[in-house]
Amino acid sequence: MSTDRHEHALLAGVCADLAQRLGWNVWALRAVFVAGLLIQTLATGIVYVLLAILLPRFRSGRPRQEALSAPELRGREARIAELERRFRDLERESQPR
């Protein structure tokens, strides 16, 4: 089994990987697997283990992006730094002299 886990993985990353591939909500898919475990424990467990073994072979092999390098977060670090600077300036102005 691969040690490369999906970044939203809880166990082997099966539900997170499938949800990403299919465009589904990861928690909804996890709920389906839990329901499957309650109804057909052995069959669902076997399917989960097989998917845990097989899915890593079909992954794209791209490394995970670091948190602040993700496209939707690129400008966030600069905005946070600017806000911190503004707060420091406000604190300096409000202090008695």
pLDDT at 17: 84
The structural domain count of the chain equals 2
DSSP assignment string, the chain: --S---TT-SSSSHHHHHHHHHT--HHHHHHHHHHHHHH-HHHHHHHHHHHHHHHHHHS--PPPPPGGGSGGGTTHHHHHHHHHHHHHHHHHHHS--
75/47 same-domain check: no
User: What is the average per-residue pLDDT within 71-77?
Assistant: 69
pLDDT at 64: 46
Range of the domain at 88: 67-97
49/94 same-domain check: no
86/48 same-domain check: no
Average pLDDT over the chain, rounded to an integer:
76
